Structure 1
Amino acid sequence: MAYDLEEQEKIDALKAWWERYGTLSMALAFVVLAAFAGWRGWQWYQSHQATQAMGYYEALEAATAQPGDDAVTRIKAASTALRDDYAGSGYAARGVLVAAAALEARKDLDGAREQLEWLVRDESASALRAVARLRLAGVLLAQKQYEPALAQLQGTPPSGFAGLYADRRGDVLAAQGLHDQAVDAWKEALKSLQGDPAAQIVQLKIDALNGA
């Protein structure tokens, strides 16, 4: 096919451009396509992980409503799977709290303690770590591990937990027979729990100890 002069110039310019930039353009296109495929793959992986984690979480919740040793085994197995394989999903931390509560209710204090100790070490779930420390102190108190229980309550309490931590500290001190220190801790709790129904319970503890 014959081309006129203007068309031939355009073709020659296109060839020259391709010779100069063609390889680079192909490489850039490949990078863009690879990045897009990687992004879509990561999205699928994240969605798959979340779905799997949710399945284990739901299995854990279902097991907590069932009686018997088999239920305890399922609770621990589901929690272990969440912790080992889906620690960053958000379901792991919540699952640990559910598992710990169920095990504590079944008087498996060692099992509950192990769950909560894992969450206390998990720095990615700061809000739930505060809950875990409070509950771990309660489990340690039930095991008469007073010093480790107090260690969970040391330092500046997380925001919103000052009253609860002081209340639990009072419980531990009272169990140790340190009544004056326990009352001081409960009074500290009352300052932070003003207007909270929990303040009434703390006041009852003070009254009961003072009347003892």
Structure 2
Amino acid sequence: MATHLDLEEQEQLDQIKHFWNKWGTPITGVAVVVMAGFAGWNGWQFWQQRQALQASALADVVAVAVESGDQARVAQAFDAVKADYKGTLQAGHAALLVAQSAVNTGKLDEAKSALQWAADNTKDEGYQATAKLRLAAVLMEEKDLDAAAALLRSSFPLEFKGLAADRLGDVLQLQGKNNEAVTAYQEAWKLLDPQVDYRALVGFKLNALGVATSETGSANSTETTK
């Protein structure tokens, strides 16, 4: 009986050896890749968290410097953010802070630079869209209406399309293109949520151009304004 069991065990061992001789190397390779991938994923997660923490610290420095009016410190901290953490959410936030500070002090070139950087480099669509809307406002302030219109006609996430259309209407009206402005405002009226208070301002703009609005979302011209 023992001999019979020993023979069965030996046969099983031989089968295992044969299987391992044939498939052992590929299996080991797959195992190594899987483990390496797991270790790499953990390392990537750790690196991302570390980047976010360091970026947050620098963004806080930017915020404090902006609040205190220390422009040299603002520039130094923002340069560090741009150099090392441009793909982070905190970098986009820092850029908007720097731009707002520059606008408040009348430094429109610096504001444009920060906003253009945010629009080009931050990976967050919300920060990108906000930067583009604010950059358009700065361009309008500088009377560079063609550039502002081109920017506002570029791609925006759905949540920002209504705001972009409204600002485009403002630009077109400044250019004396009232009929085109009506079209832009009508698009904004359609896209903006009726629960958003800002939508009422779009309604006032349409009314001023001879267009009646309704809460059904329609905006119909009652008078052509040229």
User: Please, what TM-score do these two structures have when normalized by structure 1?
Assistant: 0.71
- Which residue of structure 2 aligns with residue 64 of structure 1? 63
The one-letter code of the counterpart of 2:82 is S
Distance in 2 separating the partners of 1:119 and 1:103: 10
Deviation at 1:123, TM superposition (A): 9.6
User: Superposed, which structure 2 residues align to 1:43-192 within 5 Å?
Assistant: 43-54=41-52, 55-66=54-65, 67-68=69-70, 69-83=72-86, 87=87, 91-92=88-89, 95-107=91-103, 108-121=107-120, 125-154=124-153, 158-176=157-175, 178=176, 180-181=178-179, 184=182, 185-186=184-185, 188-192=187-191
- Shift in Å, 1:174: 4.1
- Structure 1 residue 183 displacement after superposition: 5.5
Specify the code of the residue in structure 2 equivalent to 1:130.
A
The aligned length equals 200
Q: Following the alignment from structure 2 to structure 1, what is the Cα–Cα distance between the partners of residues 83 and 22?
A: 49
Change in Cα spacing, 1:204 to 1:161, as seen in structure 2 (3 Å) is: same
Other-structure match for 1:26: 24
The alpha-carbon distance between structure 1 residues 34 and 6, as it changes in their structure 2 partners (threshold 3 A), is same
Identity score, percent = 20
Structure 1, unaligned runs of 5 or more: none
2:125 and 2:113 mapped to 1: Cα distance?
18
Cα distance, 1:73 vs structure 2? 1.9
Q: CA deviation at 1:152?
A: 1.6
Contact 1:149 1:172 in 2 (8 A): yes
Would you say 1:199 and 2:202 are equivalent positions? no
Distance 2:16 2:191 in 1: 73
Distance 1:17 1:168 in 2: 75
Aligned-residue CA RMSD in angstroms? Answer: 3.6
Offset of residue 118 of structure 1: 4.5
1:151 offset after TM fit, Å? 0.8
- Residues 69-78 or 57-66, more deviating: 57-66
Residue 42 of structure 1, aligned match among 23, 40, 43 = 40
* 1:36 to 1:71, Cα distance in 2 relative to 1, 3 A: same
Post-superposition shift, 1:150?
A: 0.6
